[in-house]
Amino acid sequence: MLTLHSCFPQRIPAKCCGLLWKAVANTEGIHTAHTYCQQVKNKAQYKYYLRSPYSLIHHYYKDLGTLKEAQEFVRNFPKLKKVPKFQLDHIFRLIKDDGHSWKEVELFKEVLLLTPIQYKLRVQLLQSLSLSQPSLYHIPWMTLLMDNTVKFLREDSKSIFKSDPVEHLIASCTDLNLPESTLQAARDLSSSDDTVTLKQVFFYLLKHYLAHRFLEDTEVVGSFLYSTQAAFLWKPLYHYAVLCDLFIDSLELSFSDVQKKPQLFYLDPENTKEILQKFPSIGGTPTREVAKAVPKLLQIPASHLVSWLRLLQKHKVHPFTCTYHTATLFKTSLFSEVSERLQILKQLQEWEIIMVSDKLFELLRSQEQIKKVLNCVESGHGIPSLSVAMKHDQHTSRHQCRSVTPEIVSYVATALGLPPEQIREVLEEEIFTPYGLMNTKAVLRMLLDYGFTREQVVAGPMVLNMEAGVVEQVLKDLHTRPETQPFAEWMENPFILHLVAYCVRKDFPHMDIHMKNKNS
């Protein structure tokens, strides 16, 4: 008689549960087996419905028919494939909870490209304009609605509003504490001309509020609002009070920061505050600075971000650079794939440089790119730069790397504890890694171990261009050379590495010592 233990191995696939259940139908452990099979089955179903856009559609709208019809919809709307699964799951839930049918979704499918916070805030904006149950059509096409003239929206029989939208808009400003004179000016604007649009009235109220909160000139704010994508701005006016609290108090942003990155308007205040509370820094950079550089990273749900940062912590990926590719990767759920790729990259000698490179997350997104880097390593020439390695053009000469690579800037900045901007300015004049990344890393480590200060390295970066072996030979007897006497005084000289470079050229005149041609 077959006896099953109470703790089943987790690797049993869902499709085997039926066979397992039959096997134990007349044995001991029936209850345990049945419970376990049900758990695996439910878990498998959950994974299945999140595995693709069409399985998500079929999960939420079973009345659609077969899975094949959902696949056909996705095939005809390929943009849906680029939407993160957790985001699509959330947006479907919101649409379903609002009572919209599949026919509506099919007609106005662009709504599926909105983030959940965009969807919710647009619905709230429409509700603040007196539409208690907004049509799904108006949510993705808010700009078209707001571009209608106030006269049309007030008077035309085809208008979706049964009462004056301007008065509803002004009534929604209560939390903004705008002066009565500003509110009256908005009313006057709406009636001043038959061509005045609802967007103009909306922007008029918004520019006065933002100017007040940021202590900025209203004309400067108004110019920004009209020059940026309106899609960033469609949310109820009362929400801007919460958003400005986030910008000014939590993220410590100036208005110029917001002007540079209008994507900041997409942030969910609650989610962003949770991220700030859990992660004062991300990858070694203060989270406030990350928000300024890559706002998309803070649009990711905090719980999802936690999973990614735990994975990186597990693989000791720290510090790292946050880029557009970081945000793009973190929107996915490729945890196991990325974990495997990290295991491969960590075995490379260049790993410390790759880790701090702004190419890291671009690399982690693609198995093909990693293969190219490995092929470059196996070719025996070393990695001149990650960009070259990721293309793996075997005809690219090392002498064609005529500028400092971003990964070298990041690595040297991290090793010296200096801002990347400062290091980039210094290295751009001299460095182009002719012997590959590992050579530059070896020379830098050699100089620091010898006792040279970071200030001396910054003052004499040309040594980083030289082959590590010849630099090592020169350093061995540097203290006894006649050129370096008195040695103690030379070691205090900020430009001693210029002398080291001179000694290398003197001792190895036959070598091709690479120096950047500043006229090239």
Same domain, 145 and 44: no
Model confidence pLDDT, tens digit, residues 370-392: 998 998 888 776 787 787 788 76
DSSP secondary structure string, 224-287? HHHHS-GGGT-S-TTHHHHHHHIIIIIS---HHHHHH-GGGGG--HHHHHHHHHH-SEETTEEH
Same domain, 161 and 259: yes
185: which 2 tokens?
């000016």
Residue 66 CA: distances (Å) to CA of 54, 57, 262, 365 = 10, 10, 41, 32
Same domain, 129 and 38: no
Same domain, 363 and 500: yes
Q: Which residues pair with 380 in a beta bridge?
A: none
Domain's final residue, options 250, 266, 282: 266
Going by pLDDT thresholds of 50, 70 and 90, the confidence category of residue 26 is very low
With a pLDDT cut of 90, the percent of the chain lying above it is: 67
Domain's final residue, options 239, 266, 293: 266
Sign of dihedral through CA atoms 217, 218, 223, 224? positive
Same domain, 362 and 500: yes
Judge contact between 117 and 157, C-beta under 8 A.
no
d(CA 143, CA 230): 7
Instruction: Tell me, yes or no, whether 403 lies in a domain.
Output: yes
pTM above 0.95, yes or no: no
Number of domains in the chain: 3
Domain's final residue, options 226, 250, 266: 266
Same domain, 118 and 253: yes
The pLDDT score that the predictor gives to residue 54 is 84
Q: What value does the mean pLDDT take over residues 393-412?
A: 66
Instruction: Tell me, yes or no, whether 449 lies in a domain.
Output: yes
d(CA 316, CA 310): 10
Q: Which residues, other chains included, contact 328 with Cβ-Cβ below 8 Å and sequence gap of 6+? A: 296, 361, 365
Out of 22-31, 180-189, 289-298, 331-340, pick the least confident: 22-31
Instruction: Tell me, yes or no, whether 496 lies in a domain.
Output: yes
| Domain interval for residue 246 | 114-266
125: which 2 tokens?
């904006």
Instruction: Tell me, yes or no, whether 338 lies in a domain.
Output: no
d(CA 266, CA 504): 55
pLDDT score of 428 more than 80: no
Same domain, 361 and 500: yes
Going by pLDDT thresholds of 50, 70 and 90, the confidence category of residue 432 is low
Model confidence pLDDT, tens digit, residues 212-252: 999 999 999 999 999 999 999 999 999 999 999 999 999 99
354: which 2 tokens?
């790759």
Instruction: Tell me, yes or no, whether 328 lies in a domain.
Output: no
Q: Residue 87's CB: how many other CB atoms inside 10 A? A: 19
Same domain, 45 and 174: no
d(CA 175, CA 243): 12
d(CA 393, CA 92): 44
Q: Position of tokens 């919460």?
A: 242
Beta strand 281-282 with 285-286: parallel, antiparallel or unpaired? antiparallel
Average pLDDT value for the chain? 86
Same domain, 252 and 357: no
d(CA 242, CA 224): 20
Same domain, 170 and 36: no
Judge contact between 232 and 262, C-beta under 8 A.
yes
Q: What value does the mean pLDDT take over residues 57-67?
A: 79
First to last CA, the chain: 83
Going by pLDDT thresholds of 50, 70 and 90, the confidence category of residue 513 is low
The pLDDT score that the predictor gives to residue 42 is 41
Going by pLDDT thresholds of 50, 70 and 90, the confidence category of residue 405 is confident
Instruction: Tell me, yes or no, whether 295 lies in a domain.
Output: no
Same domain, 133 and 45: no
pLDDT score of 143 more than 70: yes
The pLDDT score that the predictor gives to residue 512 is 55
The pLDDT score that the predictor gives to residue 511 is 67
Instruction: Tell me, yes or no, whether 130 lies in a domain.
Output: yes
Same domain, 391 and 501: yes
The pLDDT score that the predictor gives to residue 31 is 41
Out of 78-87, 188-197, 502-511, pick the least confident: 502-511
Instruction: Tell me, yes or no, whether 286 lies in a domain.
Output: no
Sign of dihedral through CA atoms 355, 360, 363, 364? positive
